[in-house]
Structure 1
Amino acid sequence: MATARDAAPERAQYWVVPVVRGLLALVPAAVITFSQNHSPAFGLLVFGAWAIVSGLVVGALAMRLIGDRGIRSLFLVNAVVTVAAGLLAVTVPGGLPFLLYLVSVWAAVTGFVELYAGLRARGRTQAARDWIAAGGFTALLAIVFLLLPPDAVTAVGLLGGYLVILGVYLVIGGFSLKWATAPGAAASGTEQHS
């Protein structure tokens, strides 16, 4: 069992990454849910602020807690793309077409990269199923935003819905990772100190 854990691309404390990522997604989801303003400018502001903070925080945590260089580089790509999309959202004046285009391009790139990371790590880590699911959710968001009729209320509402689903899924997945590794770590007694 120790060799299977050593082969995993993430470190034992990795469970913190999906929990933090999920909590960060729930904040803008709540903002969108409780706001009556679903304009494109509001959607861009909320998406941009979330993307900048999430990209920086989750990217830094992933860089620290993912040991496999290949998987770590994929999550670095996602962090950079997410921060760049956030900066574009808050600095470039744009309406509904820009919101739909920016979110769909961001979701297509980051969704595919995370899906690929999950497929690449499948069988080596329990986190792979969460990467596959989160990548799938995000790629699905890209398709929905590409096919969406131009309606700001629907677009911003769907962005909020995506963030709720992603946030809840990642928090549950993160704690599941923590609880799945806890008995093995407690039994060996040595893994907790490393």
Structure 2
Amino acid sequence: MTTPPAERAFDLRHLQLARALFAALAAAMITFSPDHSAVLGLIVFSGFALATGLAWAASAWIVFSRGERAVPALMAAVSLVAGLIASVGPWRTTGMFFGLVITWAVVSGVIELVGALRDRKAGRTAGVRDGVLIGILGIVLGVVLLLTPMQYALDYSITGAGSFTLTGITIAVGLFGGYAAVIAVFLAIAGFSPRRTEPVPAVPSEEAAS
């Protein structure tokens, strides 16, 4: 007779909630800031990516088993590298925001999507649906930013408020904020949702008899 493994102090739920918190903070900072410049966008993205990368790195050792660490390790590396690049002050330009966030969104989205699909193929269910959804959203963010004209500028005025200019970087930073808000909601729902019990592999009759 075998003893069931002890329940982990930290599991996938904690990773999802940590990611939701960091995404919600990023969304709030962008939403409530009147400045949607490349500098502000990269400052927020840097903090978001570094915090998320650290959460992935920690989870690779305390949440996932040895055979499941490839995806969280890759996600940690991609996010940490992107966050470090975004933290360099002189590099915080419009071109850097577009290039860095597009690259991060597509690469991390593909990694998370492929990892979730591989888990589903292997018969694992925990976090698969959320991994597929968040992975697709990351790829969509990258594609939408790629289609946003970087040099776009539209002058407009509001009676009683003055004249304004809508630029490509304003749209791009807003899109990143919207993405962060959406994944914060989905990850929070996933983190607080009841867990379904993973199927336990059947024990061969010979081992059961012994």
TM-score range relative to shorter protein: 0.7 to 0.9
Q: Which amino acid aligns with 2:173?
A: V
Q: Which amino acid aligns with 1:145?
A: L
Structure 1 spans left out of the alignment, 5+ residues? 1-5, 185-194
2:195 is aligned with 1:180:
yes
Give the alignment partner of residue 101 of structure 1, picking from 96, 99, 102: 99
- Over aligned residues, Cα RMSD in angstroms? 2.2
Return the structure number with greater helix share.
Answer: 1
> Shift of residue 180 of structure 1?
2.2
Q: Which amino acid aligns with 2:175?
A: L
Give aligned pairs, total. 173
Q: TM (normalized to structure 2)?
A: 0.76
Structure 2 spans left out of the alignment, 5+ residues? 151-167, 200-210
> Shift of residue 181 of structure 1?
4.0
* Aligned-partner SS, 2:106: helix
> Shift of residue 75 of structure 1?
1.2
Q: Runs ≥4 in structure 1, deviation > 2 angstroms?
A: 10-13
CA contact (8 A) 1:17 1:62 kept: no
Aligned mates of 2:32, 2:139 — CA distance in 1:
26
Give the alignment partner of residue 163 of structure 1, picking from 180, 187, 191: 180
Q: Which amino acid aligns with 2:79?
A: T
User: 2:78 — aligned with what?
Assistant: 81
Larger RCO (CA within 8 A; separation ≥ 6) = 1
Return the structure number with greater strand share.
Answer: 2
Identity of aligned residues (%): 36
Please list the CA deviations of residues 115-173 of structure 1 after superposition, one character each: whole Å capped at 9, or x if unmatched.
00100011412311111111111111111111111111101100000000011100101
CA contact (8 A) 1:104 1:145 kept: yes
Query: Which protein has the larger Cα radius of gyration, Structure 1 or Structure 2?
Result: 2
Give the alignment partner of residue 56 of structure 1, picking from 54, 57, 62: 54
2:166 is aligned with 1:149:
no
> Are residues 63 and 12 of structure 1, via their aligned partners in 2, closer, same or farther at CA, if it must alter by over 3 Å?
closer
